């Protein structure tokens, strides 16, 4: 759809209908072998097909763009989380090679090179001789993703009664969509928790 507002929807419907009527009449006058009615229907069909592709909210191009944006955001945050986790385990800043990142994800990391390039442009990681490492800004962002992951795991166990060994996949998804407002509500609901269900510390700023 082009809009979720009913008044705008009605206005657009009237505009499309008027344009179809004018277009059908013009084509029929230019090509008189076919009457006006079928041409109006064809023009409306063209508008409908174009809307399926071009509509800014739910058109195919808009959905594809959002899907690509969400996928890139997820890859970006997963990589920052991975580097932050490596630092957390080592107790100090560390670097990881691209091969080590792929091994740690236990799968081929689609778009790894491009993701790393974008993270470098955003000053979230730096490239060193021994691999890629977080900047202070990247460390803060990685800490945020880890915090959301662990907060959601704790919420699932504390409020929904889920077993600790069944919550990781859900947290892997939710960590990318929790807004600061929702995070604040979760922290308040859980009473400013310090550890997740696995007794890992919840890293605050």
Domain boundary among 32, 58, 84: 58
Q: Indicate whether 17 and 101 sit together in one domain.
A: no
Contact at 8 Å (CB) between 113 and 127?
no
Let me know whether 77 and 176 are in one domain: yes
Question: Residue 85: helix, strand or coil by DSSP?
Answer: helix
Can you say whether residue 106 is alpha, beta or left, with left for phi > 0 and alpha for psi between -120 and 50 degrees? left
- List, run by run, the mean pLDDT of 10-residue segments along the chain (205 residues): 75 84 84 80 85 81 85 92 96 94 70 91 97 98 98 96 93 95 97 96 94
Separation CA 202–CA 205 (nearest Å): 10
Domain range for 144 is: 69-205
Return the pLDDT at 70. 85
Ranges of beta strands (E only) in the chain are: 125-128, 131-134
User: What are the backbone dihedrals phi and psi of residue 102, each rounded to the nearest 5 degrees, phi first?
Assistant: -65, -45
Q: Are residues 23 and 101 in the same domain?
A: no
- Does one domain contain both 28 and 92? no
Q: Is 194 helix (H, G, I), strand (E, B) or coil?
A: coil
Task: Identify the pLDDT of residue 109.
Answer: 63
Which strand (E) or helix (H) includes residue 152? helix 136-159
DSSP of 100-150, one letter per residue? HHHHHHTS--TTHHHHHHHHHHTTSEEEETTEEEE-HHHHHHHHHHHHHHH
Q: Please state the pTM of the whole predicted model.
A: 0.76
Q: Is residue 123 part of a domain?
A: yes
């Amino acid at each position: 759809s082009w809009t979720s507002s009913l008044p705008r929807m009605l206005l657009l419907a009237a505009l499309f209908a008027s344009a179809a009527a004018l277009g059908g009449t013009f084509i029929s006058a230019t090509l008189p072998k076919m009457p006006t009615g079928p041409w109006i229907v064809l023009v409306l069909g063209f508008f409908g097909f174009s809307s399926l592709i071009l509509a800014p909210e739910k058109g195919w191009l808009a959905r594809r763009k959002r899907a690509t944006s969400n996928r890139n955001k997820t890859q970006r945050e997963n990589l920052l989380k991975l580097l932050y986790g490596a630092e957390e385990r080592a107790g100090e800043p560390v670097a990881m090679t691209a091969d080590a990142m792929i091994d740690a994800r236990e799968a081929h990391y689609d778009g790894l090179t491009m993701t790393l390039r974008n993270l470098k442009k955003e000053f979230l990681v730096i490239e060193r001789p021994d691999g890629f490492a977080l900047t202070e800004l990247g460390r803060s962002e990685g800490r945020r993703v880890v915090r959301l992951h662990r907060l959601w795991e704790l919420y699932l166990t504390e409020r929904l009664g889920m077993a600790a060994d069944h919550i990781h996949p859900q947290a892997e998804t939710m960590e990318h969509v929790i807004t600061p407002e929702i995070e604040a509500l979760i922290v308040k609901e859980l009473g400013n928790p310090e550890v997740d269900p696995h007794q890992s510390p919840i890293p605050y700023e």
